[in-house]
Structure 1
Amino acid sequence: MDSYYVNKNAQANGDHQVHKYGCSYLPEEANREYLGEFSNCHDAVKEAKKTYPQSNGCYYCSNACHTS
């Protein structure tokens, strides 16, 4: 299980990126929201979409969930 976070600040395309703890692109503490412990990025993105409907996996740490 890994800890996942969502960036509170949207990217230029409107996506809120979901990151695994330890990612070099993990936002500063003030700019991220803890999503919980998940065994895969798909469940973490699903959780993020409850608050940020336009969420997407980070290209670097959650590539299997990166769609745009």
Structure 2
Amino acid sequence: MADYYVNKNAQSNGDHEVHRYDCSYLPYPENRIYLGDFSSCHGAVQAARKYYSQVNGCYHCSEACHTS
């Protein structure tokens, strides 16, 4: 289990990236939303879709959910 966050700021392609708490690319606290404690990035991405329609996993910490 790990804590996950979604970046409030979209990437250049419009994606809001989901990050694990220990990611070196985790946004600053004021630029992220806590999603909860999940066993994988898949649940975190689903939770992030409650906030944003265009969501993607971080290439570095949520590679299994990174699609673009």
Q: Which residues of structure 2 form unaligned runs of 5+?
A: none
The CA distance in 2 between the partners of 1:52 and 1:39, in whole Å, is 21
**Match in the other structure for 1:58:** 58
**Match in the other structure for 1:27:** 27
> How far apart are residue 50 of structure 1 and its match?
1.1
Give the superposed CA RMSD: 0.4
Alignment of 1:1-68 (within 5 A): 1-68=1-68
SS in 1 for 2:4: strand
SS in 1 for 2:25: coil
Q: Which runs of 4+ in 1 moved over 6 A?
A: none
SS in 2 for 1:6: strand
Q: Which residues of structure 1 form unaligned runs of 5+?
A: none
TM-score with structure 1 length normalisation? 0.98
The CA distance in 1 between the partners of 2:16 and 2:7, in whole Å, is 6
The CA distance in 2 between the partners of 1:62 and 1:22, in whole Å, is 11
The CA distance in 2 between the partners of 1:52 and 1:28, in whole Å, is 18
Letter in 2 for 1:22: D
Give me the identity figure in percent. 69
